[in-house]
Every structure is written in structure tokens, then in C-alpha cells.
Homo-oligomer: A and B are copies of this chain.
Amino acid sequence: MSVGTANEKAFASTLVKNSYGKSLVRLTKINRSGKIPTWKEITVEIELAGPEFGGCYYEGDNSKIVATDSMKNTVYVIGARNDLNSIEEYGLALAKHFLDDYKHVDEANIRISEDIWSQIPIEGGVHPTSFVKAQSDLRCAHIWMTRKETKITSGIDNLIVAKITNSEFAGHIQDAYTTLKDTHDRIFGTKVEAKWVWKNHKADFNAGYEAARKIMLETFAHHHSLSAQQTLFAMGDAVIAKVSDIEEISLTLPNLHRIPFNLEPLGMDNKNEIFVNTSEPHGTIRGTMARKK
């Protein structure tokens, strides 16, 4: 480590953790190798760590610093070299670059999110090179790489779904803090955030992503929900059951409440038809499901 003890002595504190990098690097790549051009749009974050960066914190010694501007350049250079088949493969290439080229980097974190575009429907099919953002959700990946280990976590963010029947919530604790009554027919709306850990880095990332998304949507659709927790578990468990490349999955489901509007003071009866769609407060349900050993 480049930091002299002499200098550290001057301080009241010790730097026990450090990292730095570049966020919100946006890359659009057009692939012109086939008959028709195809494309991807991604947003990349790079975060590097290692004890030798300490000199920069203690003394402003930048001699070991890969400028965050250079990291930005690297996103485009590796983006030009890599075929971007999946964000996971591209992220692995980026992480490897930083560990290979800079011996004092101990750890690289690459976080990528991908906008999902669909070809525009036209008479008799879809247009090959014109696109519409037809999903609210993003595809995400996080590559964590050290000189000994690599962990690849992928996921989906902002997948907005709702079911207007087959959702109950009853039998919860009734005490001095409770005013909520049992309900056997409520709307269950949520915004799925999923993160799954791959078995290894030889997985078929694209097929796994497609499968996980489809399975979560279908399970959410079919599940007779006794609680948001139960539906969360069912969704995660179904992914584990059907996608052998995925070892563990974490889900976060906000419970975006639709609250029955009280029409009684206005002389009407609300037959479970009129609701107030709210954003705050909301429930937040979290769970991590791991493949049984």
C-alpha cells in the first residue's frame, strides 16, 4: 500500500473501506453484422476497490487512479469489441478487463440495466428496425469479480402487475394497533423487483432471463393469493423449480394498495367496486429462496 504510516498518523480515523467508479454510462450499440441492423441500449456502472487506492484518499496521490473518465471510455471500447449477446457476458468482459489491466484493483463491480424494446407491430407482422418501449420493466445484471471469485446476479426491475381477484388477506393479528379487517377479495398490485444468482458463468443468460420473467408472470397470474408473502414465495419457488441455472432468487414486492372508498357518508354502497389507488404508504414484502440441497 502506497500510504506512508507517517501520513496516516496525522488523522483521527482510518479508511476502512473504499471504492469509486463511474455511474450512468449509457451505451447504444447497433450491430450491423446481419442482414438488418439490431441494437441494444444499456446503462453501466463501474465500481472498483482495492487498498492501493488509499493514497488518493489520505494524500490526494492519484498515481494509482484509473480516472472515472477512462472507465467511461472503456465502456465504449469494450462495447465496440464485444458482441453484447447478453449484458452478463458483456459485464464479465468489462470486469475482467479491469482486473487484468490494473494489478492493484482487487474487486470490480459492474452493474448494468437494459431497456427492453419491441419491434413495432405493422400490417402482417412487425417492423424489423422500428421499436416501441413495450415493457415497463428493465433487465439488470451485477457482476462482482475478485481475483478468486466471480458472482453473477441478474434480475428484473419495475415489472408492474396486478390481479383483480383471487387475492385474500385474513387471519392476521388483531390487537390494540389493528383496524384492518379480513378481506377475501382484494386487488393485489405490485412492482416486482427480482434478483437471481446464477449457478456459474456458463449459464445461458438470455434463455434464463426469458424463462424467469415468464414463470414469475404466469405464477403471479395463476396464484390464489392468501398473502403477498405467499405469492412472493410461489413466484420465486417456481423459478427455482424450472430454471436449473438459477441457484437463489430474491424478490421484493411492494404492496401497492387499492383501498375501498367509503361511499356510505355519500349515501351509496360500495359493492367492492370503487377504490383509491395509493402510492404512500405501501407494504414492502421481501424474501430470498435458495435451491434445496
Contacts and interface: CB of A to CB of B under 8 A. Distances in A.
Interface of A: 11-32, 37, 39, 41, 45, 47, 53, 56-74, 76-77, 79-80, 101-102, 117, 120-123, 127, 129-136, 159-166, 169-173, 175-180, 187, 214, 217-218, 220-222, 225-230, 232-233, 236-237, 240-241, 248-250, 254-255, 258, 261, 263, 265-268, 270-292
Contact of A172 (B14, B67, B248, B275): B67
A228 B220 CA distance: 41
29 contacts: A12-B292, A13-B236, A15-B288, A16-B288, A20-B283, A25-B280, A28-B275, A28-B276, A30-B187, A32-B271, A37-B165, A39-B187, A45-B284, A53-B229, A56-B230, A57-B233, A58-B233, A59-B230, A60-B226, A62-B171, A67-B169, A68-B284, A70-B173, A76-B261, A76-B263, A76-B276, A131-B161, A136-B136, A176-B266
Contacts of A66: 172-173, 177
A271 to B, nearest CB: 7
B173 A12 contact: no
Nearest to A76: B261
Contacts of A14: 289-290, 292
Given A241-B12, A254-B23, A130 B221 contact: yes
The 4 A-B pairs at the shortest CB distance, nearest first, are namely A60-B226, A130-B221, A12-B241, A24-B280
Contact of A173 (B65, B131, B221, B240): B65
B274 A218 contact: no
A18 B131 contact: no
A16 B69 contact: no
Contact of A227 (B56, B123, B263, B289): B56
Given A12-B241, A15-B289, A173 B67 contact: yes
A58 B230 CA distance: 6
A15 B274 contact: no
A274 B19 CA distance: 28
